[in-house]
Amino acid sequence: MSLVHQSLDAKVQEGVLRNSFLYWQCRVRQISMRDNMGRPDDSITPALTLAGEMEPMCRVITLLSKVSPYSKLPEIQHIIKSTNDPEERRRKAVDFFSETYFQNTREFSDTLTAIFPPNSPGAKAICRAGKCTLSFAGYGQQFDIFCKVWALSSEDPGFQASWCHNLLFNSRLHPEVVILCFEPNWGRSCGKPIT
């Protein structure tokens, strides 16, 4: 096989892995909303292992966001502004995300985010490392996603989407949180069925 064919084959495999991961994430997040009132499980809270380390450092709750043309940020902001009652806000958020939000995987970015408290030593260590592996498992699937990591500025659309999404479920969210962005390297990632 020529180098060109090997390169194309690798790109196709990376695309298949990316699409499989996004499909699975959309499905498990919809299940979380419909069956568990939005409470995250292991399929949404991967173990995070810093590059060069063997053992996971922690688990993080990840957020999957829509790409700009499909953003639902105005609708999410409307829910936030419509009530100050945390329970009613949560109920409205669960209803919103349970309907059709996760139906089309092509509307989502493969870049994930996670929120950390202000001055979090863990967030600082993750940013210093610059790379990590997020290990997801659940519902018969496992994915080990190798990522480049950095902190988002408060002006970044990913920051705004993550902030608003989390505010729906945590009305006491600190205004100076750190939001990290995890950009997958699909060529160094893998996925497999588990029993």
Structural domains of the chain sorted by starting position, each given as residue range(s) with its CATH number in brackets: 3-193 (2.30.110)
Q: What is the mean pLDDT of residues 136-159?
A: 96
- Please give the pLDDT value at position 16: 94
Question: Cβ of 99: how many Cβ atoms within 10 Å?
Answer: 12
Given a cut of 80, whether residue 91 has pLDDT beyond it is yes
- Please give the pLDDT value at position 56: 97
Q: Is 186 helix (H, G, I), strand (E, B) or coil?
A: helix
Q: What is the mean pLDDT of residues 37-61?
A: 95
Given a cut of 50, whether residue 17 has pLDDT beyond it is yes
Q: Is 55 helix (H, G, I), strand (E, B) or coil?
A: coil
pTM: 0.92
